[in-house]
Amino acid sequence: MAKNFKCWPKDWPKTLNYPKVPVFRFLDQTAERVPNRLALIFGGMELTFEQLRNLSERFAAALSSLGVGKGRRVAIHLPNCPQFAIAYYGTLKTGATFTPLSPLLSPREVVHQLTDSGAETLISLDLIYPGIASVIPETPVRNIITTSIADCFSAVIQPVKPIGKYPVPGTIEFVELLAAHQPKPPDVTIDVENDLAHLAYTGGTTGVSKGVMLTHKNVLANTLQFGLWFSGAQVVEKDGRYELVYPEGVDPKRDRLLRQDNEISLVVVPWFHAMGTIGYLNNMMASGTTMVVFPRFDPVEYISAVEKYKATSLGGAPQLYVPLVDLPDFSRYDLSSIKLAASGAAPLPGAVLDRLLSAFSGVVCEAYGLTEATMGAIANPPSREGIRAGSVGLPVFDTEVRIVDPGTGQELSPGNEGEIAIRGPQVMKGYWNRPEATAEVLKDGWLLTGDIGREDEDGYFYITDRKKDLILYKGYNVYPREIEEVLYTHPAVELCAVVGKRDDKVGELPVAFVQLKAGQEVTAEALIAFVNERVAAYKKLREVFFGPVPVSAAGKTLKRELRDKLTAG
């Protein structure tokens, strides 16, 4: 079926022009356009776009002196901090490939990713590197660069922010590299169609993580697809530069949700995750948005920053919003400056969506994507009237989405549930050194996502569940998200996850893991009764286990860990 444009935003282009330039041009061009605008604020430290470009070029020169260049991989093992952004763009400016390494990984997982990627250069933090230092000799890494959060603060502020710097013997100092090199990056030629910008690893929620090969074209396309989704502009390229053009009669100050070189965003989404790298780093660079950056999430600190910095946008997984709206004095905070609150990585509970919409007059935009699609493929339109509760929205520019039968691959008509397939310029090149795994998910240009969903008559898509999370009870399909949505309406529930428990008689039984709100109490029996009054007989909840619900750094529930608990127990 052809793409359904019935509810396409008015005056939005249906296709974009994509400049054939490398990803680091996002930073360079913004630095040329607004050199003195603040690029990021980190605990009081400020960097302009021009300063960030200068530092990234110094770091590129430093990496080049260490033998880093095209064909090499550089692993960044850092939380959100200025050094991450400097290292990211510096890596790309050498022609090398960035591979993100989550600070939350275990030593075993670190060995797998560094060995699988073949990364020879590692950039880490003084506080977290000692936890993996013993396994680095098992990997190809030969250049180890370390930095410290303390490097971002002057001695004057130490009495107020006593952040220490810890020596890491046998490693190269990040700040010394910057000081020792001039902002003269190597002269490299980037083939945007084929050269890899990212080698990003899947979350590993369903097995061993795989390297996702993303070209400069993939990254640039997805950044523009989502950045321009909120401005409705077209891209015009001139001599390696690109400009935004609006339809005749459109005033972006008046007629668009977000404007270039005008916004301030709170950034706590990890940059080592796809949503962070694309949505909250490259997108911010491309649009000239000032980033207020947080290395970790503290609900009170985060929500207080909205008024402090007059932030116009924020975003993350539902696990960011749940504790915010649960703050006892949530309604007291002034969120009137917020134009956009974006949510992705996991379903946003309906009750949380309602609280957010009542808190400010801006737009709450739920979106959908996965690492294999660089970051995203579907998003709700950027207007209140365009939002559909429970839906992740419409396929963005130049993106086709269809629902197919998981068994036959045949396309299904609107209203039918099946596997979500995606085609567009953001779809990965394939899995690193895994041709068989690549062939399983890439079929004639279509990416089979492993997620289950449906399309309505207006072209909106709804995510039902992951194919591998589907519970089979007596031959019936039970979708965990439906039960989770019911659980989230209970006033005592903060986080929950429903998985299938093996049963010889019926196949699988739906059971729930529930994390209660602070100060709340409820029995398992009461929760089971609450759910079972609201679902069909074959979907009835059978058991409830209380305790913390594990989530990944991206905010995805780690259901594999929960299933493992059931098997072990």
Is pLDDT of 3 > 50?
yes
Average confidence (pLDDT) over 494-511: 87
SS3 for 157?
helix
Is domain 18-215 classified as CATH 3.40.50.720?
no
Which residues make Cβ contacts (< 8 Å) with residue 544, sequence separation at least 6? 511, 512, 513, 514, 524, 527, 528
| Chain centroid to CA 468 | 21
pLDDT score at 476: 66
Q: How many CB atoms lie within 10 A of CB 431?
A: 20
- pLDDT tens digit sequence for 373-428: 999 999 999 999 999 988 999 999 999 999 999 888 999 999 999 999 999 999 99
The sign of the torsion formed by the CA atoms of 56, 229, 198, 272 equals positive
CB atoms within 10 A of CB 425: 18
Contacts for 389 with CB less than 8 Å, ≥ 6 apart: 350, 353
Lowest mean pLDDT among 1-5, 25-29, 435-439: 1-5
- Quick one: 217 exposed, middle or buried, by C-beta within 10 A (0-12, 13-18, 19+)? buried
User: Poorest-confidence range of 341-345, 369-373, 455-459?
Assistant: 341-345
In the predicted structure, residue 205 carries a pLDDT above the cut 60: no
Crossing angle of helices 524-532 and 480-488, in 10° steps, is 110
For residues 532-536, average pLDDT: 85
Q: What is the mean pLDDT of the chain?
A: 92
Give the mean model confidence (pLDDT) for residues 31-57.
96
pLDDT (0 to 100) of residue 208:
66
Query: Domain 470-568 classified CATH 3.30.300.30?
Result: yes
- Rounded to an integer, the average pLDDT of 286-312 is 95
Q: How confident is the model at residue 187 (pLDDT cuts 50, 70, 90)?
A: very high
Q: What count of other Cβ atoms lies within 10 Å of the Cβ of residue 415? A: 10
What is the percentage of the chain residues whose pLDDT exceeds 90? 75
**E-only strand ranges, 468-516:** 471-473, 476-478, 493-503, 507-516
Tokens representing 271 are 């940059």
Q: Is the pLDDT of residue 303 over 80?
A: yes
Kindly indicate the confidence band of residue 524, based on its pLDDT and cuts at 50, 70 and 90: very high
Residue 191 has pLDDT above 60, yes or no: yes
**Beta-carbon neighbour count of residue 4 at 10 Å?**
17
The residue ranges of every structural domain in the chain are 18-215, 470-568
Q: Which residue has the higher pLDDT, 328 or 347?
A: 328
DSSP state of 120: -
DSSP state at residue 271: T
Give the pair of three-digit tokens for residue 274: 């796809």
Question: Residue holding tokens 């009870």?
Answer: 473
Residue 206 confidence (pLDDT): 45
**Higher local confidence (pLDDT), 345 or 516:** 516
DSSP 239: T
- pLDDT tens digits, residue range 475-502? 666 778 889 988 999 999 999 999 999 8
* CB half-sphere exposure, 365, CA atoms < 13 A: 29
Residue 538 contacts residue 476 (beta carbons within 8 Å):
yes
